[in-house]
Amino acid sequence: MTEVRGQGAGPGGDERDRAATVRLFIALAPPDEAKDELARELRSAYDAYPHMRWNRIEDWHITLAFLGELPVATVPLLRPPLADLAASRRPVELGLRGGGHFDERVLWSGIDGDLEGLHRLAADVRAVVRECGVPFEDRPLRPHLTLARARRDDLSSVVDVADGLAGFTGCRWRADRLHLVGSNFGRGPGPIRYRDIEAWSFDGR
d(CA 138, CA 107): 22
Annotated catalytic residues are 61, 144
Of 9, 179, 173, 160, the residue nearest 78 (C-alpha): 179
Asked whether 82 and 126 are in contact (CB, 8 A), the reply is no
d(CA 95, CA 110): 8
CA torsion sign for 128, 79, 148, 108 is negative
d(CA 65, CA 86): 15
Q: Which residues contact 172 (CB under 8 A, 6 or more apart)?
A: 93, 94, 95, 113
Asked whether 7 and 20 are in contact (CB, 8 A), the reply is no
DSSP-assigned beta bridge partners for residue 146: 108
Asked whether 58 and 141 are in contact (CB, 8 A), the reply is no
